Each structure stands twice: as C-alpha cells, then as structure tokens.
Structure 1
Amino acid sequence: MKKILFATTALVATAGVASAEVALTGTAEMGIYNPNSETAETQFFTDFDIRFTLSGEADNGLTFGATIDLDEAADYSDDVGGNDTGVFELPSRQGGEAIFISYGGATLTMGDTDGAYDARIPEMALAGGTLNDDETVHLGFNHGDGDAFGLTGLDGFGDGQIARFDYAYNSFTFSLSAEQVADGADVSGIGDTVWGLGVSWSGQVSAIDLTVGLGYQTLEDVADVTGLAVTGGFANGISAGLTYSVTDIDGLSDDVTHVGLGFGYEMNAIAVGVNWGQFEYDGDNQSGWGLAASYDLGGGLEARLGYGYSDMEGVWGSGDYNTWSLGLNMSF
C-alpha cells in the first residue's frame, strides 16, 4: 500500500543564512493495555504525537536548530522529575522543546534534553518497542533520566531546563551539563544546580559494534549518581548489554546499587528485546524484567507486543505486579 506522507519540508533563503529547513513528523498508536495487574483492568490505548524539527546552517558553517514535541509539551508536570506526587513542588516548566547550535565537533543544546549522565550511558532496552513502554516502566529498569529520589539519575529534579555541551573527537563523545533547581535560586536543603559529566566511546572490536559509557551526576545535599554501561551488537542480529550504577543519597546509611542486563534480536521485520534490572539498598531490593516485540508491516506500520514484571521487597514496600500492551504503531 502506498504510504501517505504527512511530513512537510520547507527551504527558506534569507540574508546571512545559507539555508533553513522545517520538518513535521508524527506517530500514532492504538491497541489495548493493562497498566497494573493488581489495580487496573484491561483498557483501550490510543496515543498521538507530532514533532517539529527545524534546522539551518549559517554562512560561517555554524549549524543550528530546534525541536518541539507537542505530546511532551502538553503532558509536562509542575512536579519534580515529572512525577505527580507533589513532594517538592519545584517549578519544572520545560515543555518538550530543545534548541542547539553546533560547529565542528562541538554542540551546545539547551531546553528539554538529556543531562550528561543520561546522554552518554546506553540503556538496556536494545530492540523492539511497545505501546505503553512496558519494557522500561518496570521497577528494575534504569532510565538514567531522573526520578524524584535520584535513584536513576537527576534530570528533571529542577526547573527542567538543561544546558549540555558535547564534544565529539574520533570515537569519543564528552559531555558536560547543568540544570537549575529553581531558576538559579539556592533551595535550602537541596542546592541550586544539578551538574553532570559523561563520556562514551563507540567503535568496532572484533566485528562487534561496541559502545561504552561512563557518567556522573550530582546535586548538592541530595544525591550523587555514578554509572557505567556497555552494549555490543553482533552481525547475526543479536545484541547484549550490561549496566551498573551506585547512588549515594544524603541521609541514607548505605548506597543504592543497580545492575541491569539487556538482550536483543533483530532480523528482517522482527525485533525482540528482553531486559532485567535490580535496585538494592541494605539487603532490600526492587527488581523487574521487560519484554518488547515488534513486527514491521512496512510503510511505517508496526505491530507491537509488550510485557513488564515488577517486584518489591523491603524498604520500598512489598508485592509484585505486571503490565502488558498489544497494538499498532504508525510512523508518518
């Protein structure tokens, strides 16, 4: 079937600018899902997202651009880390837009973007996709992008506006980032800036496409997070990865450690990914595993199946639950 293209591109020539480009892309999903087997019933699932991407190049070789994701712009929260608990009530006002300027190997990005920690450390969801992110919402997955308590990173702990500087040299990429906690103000007992450092290397070793990432992120009086991850892709379509992190949270007597594993397989139209992870603190843990499977039907249409299992023991509470989803993903 012939694909209907909704993306549009416009080229504009103006004084002092070599060229500018505007592109519109979108995704839509429909199906069924269960977000929590213990508290919810199976429900209909629908989601629609539009993304604008703008880019250009100046006469002196500088490239620049911006993106805005309308789904994130509508859904962003006023609470820390995007949660709705109201624990800290800091002014997180970033709404899905990011702006960059680049020259050579150097790039400065500001707005709704990843901190250095998350940008440089690969995640363990290596293949496939799901409607409701079942493979990444389980309690053992490390997103690296922050939560209200700093277990997986510190992005979004402040006002949501992140400034990150990247420099790419040969196979290495170095990153430095900062996020203001409350528009630059020093919040008592928390601090004023989330700082991040990260470095990654990508290359081929003995026919394996290898990526190694190391990151560190800190917020005064709250937490320090250090993480390492390695992923490898093989010629037969199999991929594997390992991640480990240590979080030192102020006020806790012991560090929170995380270990995660990921496996993927991609061949022709089929993609399947499985991951497992566990957070541990003073002998107690929360863990989980996730499955993502997809089949490419062509033309931007994809069938998706997902499953996630979560288990808590000890300090985080106790009990287990699962999530699942099934349906179609459409890319335009």
Structure 2
Amino acid sequence: MKKVLFATTALIALGSMAAADVRLSGYGRFGLDFNQANDSDYNNGNNPNYNGVSETNITSRLRLQVDMSTETDGGVGFNARFRAQAESRDGSAGGAVFNGARFGVTYGGLIVNVGNIIGAVENAPGLYTTGTRSAGTGIDGMDFMSLPIKGINVDPTSSNFLTPGTTFGWDAYSSTSAGANGVEALYTVGGFTGHVSFSQDNDYGPGVTGEDRLAIMLTYSFGDYYVTGAYQSVDNNPLVYTDVNGRAYDQEDGMYFLAAGADWGQFGAKLAYGSNDVADSWTLEGNMDIGAASNLLAWVNSTDVDGALLDANNESIVGFANAVGQVDGTAFGINYQYDLGGGSTFVAGYAQSAADSNNSQFQAGVYFSF
C-alpha cells in the first residue's frame, strides 16, 4: 500500500530523543450493490426475518488511518493506531466517526497491544478470503458469507429481529467503535506465530456480569503452505439461547477454527472449518491469476446447523428456527479483481447465500488505496 509519510521528532517519557513516525494511509471504495431475494416473503414486513434492503443500492466507504511509532535507545518500540471512517451500505449512510485507539509495545518478535485489539480469532490466517480487497466478496464483503463460523445475530433492542450468517462473535479491531478494550500478545519466530487475546466487558447492570473472552491462535508457515488453528472461551455471554428444548446454546463459547492453505504463485487454495454450538461449517476456496493484472477467486461454504435448533419451537425468540435455517445449506461466491494501476482496482463479485434463504447479491465498483 502506498503511504504518505510525515517525519517529526518527539520527546518520549524515558527522556531520550528519538525519531517518531506519523503515517497517514487509507482507502476509498464505491460501487453498485444489487440484492435479490427470490423468496418474496423475505421482503415481507410481517416476516420476523425481514431485512428491509432495497434491491439496488450504492455502497461506499472512505477510511483514513493514522499510525504513530517511536523506538527507545534500547530497541523497545511504542506505537498507536486510530481511524476515521465514513460509509454507506445498503442505503444506510453514516457520518465520519473516529474509533478507539490501539496502543502497542514491540521488542524483537514480541508484540503486546492494549485497547482496540486485533483479536486472536480475527488474526487467524485463512479466516477471510485470500487477497481480495474487501477480505470477502465484492466491494464491501457481501456479509462475509464465506467465513466458516456461522450463527445468529440478535438485535438486543428487540427479540423479534434476527440476522443469520456470520456473527463476528469474537474480538476484532473495530473501525467504528471503542473496540474490545482488551489486551493481547503476539510472538513470531521463524514460521511460527502465536497469539493470545483477552477482553472483559463492564457489568451490564445489577446482577448481570459483563462478558469475558479469552482466545488463542497458533499458525505455522512452511514454504508455500500454512496451517492455523484458533479457539475462544467465553463467560457470561448475554445472548445465550436457553429455551431450546431445555438446552442452552452459546455460539461464542467453545468456538474453534482450523484452516490450511497454499500459494503456488499463479494458483492458490484454502480449506477452512469452523464450529460452535449452533453449526459446523466448511469453506473451500481457490484462486488464480489471469494474466499480469487480474485475479479470480471462488469459494463454496457448507453449513450444518444443529437439527434441534431447526426443529425448535422457541417461544423466547420469535422466528428463531426459521432464521437458523437460512444458514443451513450451501452458499457460494465468486470475486474478480483487475489492477488498474496506481493503487486502484476494479472489483466485481457475486454471492449466493445458503439454499434455504435463496438470497443472492452482486456488486461492482472501484477500490483505491493511498
């Protein structure tokens, strides 16, 4: 990524003079987003899974990132990062917002971050699509249906609104909020990288303890190949489904992810697996370079939801079984990129969600980095 570098001088707390770097970088993206729901009832306002999304929308994002770093005379590095971002997706626009900062300390192969941390599961190689501009399909990721960790998002203000798909029920660097406000350590030596992260929410109210997340990720790269695994343990998750045939389902606790991939130059491939209380899910991905400037990537995801959830008559969450059913089945997608030069890329993508939901998306637009 082409970056604009501003050099300045800072007096750090240890009392020695050091050259401090302040770097500005970012990207812009904009394009056309077409959503087609073949099931007409999916766009019925009386359906608890109604998504309210128009068929054709403009999707866009502008991100400005600021990275600051300095180093002591003893070789200890200090750094910080924050972002400003404005975006519009599926007809919903928001003004520019600043996120929470992440602070880091580095020494040799060790990195310790606090604040808006990366997150161990989020940092696992192979979790997202390989080399695409959105880390998913199309311009904005298209709900990241390729990720093999599936579940149900529940609107905390209303038990009647459910969103099936990728829940992102793990700590990750947030571009629009304070983030996890956690702590993490990463260590790299040779082809091995280990990552441990921890976060703790404040209590939600009297007698309601805040959620704790502990995650670990290990990855090893050798030649053209890599293998990786990640696991997350959660205490006090406020969104545990307790009225499903007498069993409690916690899709964030006991979550794990495994992946193996390879890059052979013109061709690449990946096989990934994710599991939680709600579903087991596989993703197979392949990509190839076409000439000197184009890349074509395709993926297929197969998700198997716990049968008890599909059959559940869950009175505490309206439409629960119907919503879970929308991720049970096979989804697939294809992404095309053409390098226009100067940090600009033309991107087009198509994604078809799981068989039970019959919902497809198409996007095309331009991404440019600076």
Alpha-carbon offset, residue 42 of structure 1: 1.8
- Answer yes or no: is the 8 Å Cα contact 1:100–1:107 preserved in 2: yes
- Answer yes or no: is the 8 Å Cα contact 1:242–1:262 preserved in 2: yes
- Answer yes or no: is the 8 Å Cα contact 1:290–1:307 preserved in 2: yes
What runs of 5+ residues in structure 2 fail to find an aligned partner?
Answer: 39-52, 88-96, 155-163, 237-249, 311-327
What runs of 5+ residues in structure 1 fail to find an aligned partner?
Answer: 76-92, 249-254, 314-318
Alpha-carbon offset, residue 270 of structure 1: 0.8
Structure 2 residue 15 is the aligned partner of structure 1 residue 28: no
- Answer yes or no: is the 8 Å Cα contact 1:288–1:308 preserved in 2: yes
**More deviation, 35-44/60-69:** 35-44
Alpha-carbon spacing, 1:67–1:142, altered in 2? closer, same or farther (3 Å): farther
Q: Distance in 2 between matches of 1:118 and 1:126?
A: 14
**More deviation, 190-199/5-14:** 5-14
Picking from 269, 275, 300, the partner of 1:246 is 275
Picking from 160, 182, 188, the partner of 1:162 is 182
Q: Distance in 2 between matches of 1:126 and 1:33?
A: 22
Alpha-carbon offset, residue 300 of structure 1: 1.3
**More deviation, 13-22/103-112:** 13-22
Q: 1:173 — aligned with what?
A: 193
Picking from 236, 261, 272, the partner of 2:296 is 272
| Deviation string, structure 1 residues 115-143 (Cα, Å, up to 9, x no partner) | 21221342251233331213xx2545237
Tell me the C-alpha RMSD between the 2 structures.
Answer: 3.2
**Equivalences for 1:187-266 in 2 at 5 Å?**
192-204=211-223, 209-221=224-236, 222=250, 223-235=253-265, 237-248=266-277, 256-266=279-289
SS at the partner of 2:130? coil
Q: 1:142 — aligned with what?
A: 148
- Answer yes or no: is the 8 Å Cα contact 2:120–2:171 preserved in 1: no
Alpha-carbon offset, residue 52 of structure 1: 0.8
TM-score normalized by the length of structure 2:
0.69
Picking from 97, 100, 103, the partner of 2:104 is 100
SS at the partner of 1:127? coil
Alpha-carbon offset, residue 256 of structure 1: 2.0
Alpha-carbon offset, residue 189 of structure 1: 6.9
**Equivalences for 1:18-167 in 2 at 5 Å?**
18-37=18-37, 39-71=53-85, 95-129=99-133, 130-134=138-142, 137-142=143-148, 153-155=169-171, 160-167=180-187
- Answer yes or no: is the 8 Å Cα contact 2:35–2:359 preserved in 1: no
Q: 1:297 — aligned with what?
A: 340
Alpha-carbon offset, residue 31 of structure 1: 2.3
Alpha-carbon offset, residue 18 of structure 1: 2.4
Q: Distance in 1 between matches of 2:207 and 2:19?
A: 47
Q: Distance in 1 between matches of 2:192 and 2:212?
A: 26
Q: Distance in 2 between matches of 1:260 and 1:308?
A: 14
Alpha-carbon spacing, 1:8–1:169, altered in 2? closer, same or farther (3 Å): closer
SS at the partner of 2:126? coil
Structure 2 residue 352 is the aligned partner of structure 1 residue 324: no
SS at the partner of 1:117? coil
Show structure 1 runs of 4+ deviating over 3 A: 35-39, 146-153, 156-159, 185-192
Q: Using the aligned pairs only, state the percent identity.
A: 21
- Answer yes or no: is the 8 Å Cα contact 2:149–2:280 preserved in 1: no
Q: Distance in 1 between matches of 2:185 and 2:109?
A: 10
- Answer yes or no: is the 8 Å Cα contact 1:121–1:227 preserved in 2: no
Alpha-carbon offset, residue 147 of structure 1: 6.0
SS at the partner of 2:358? strand
- Answer yes or no: is the 8 Å Cα contact 2:149–2:167 preserved in 1: no
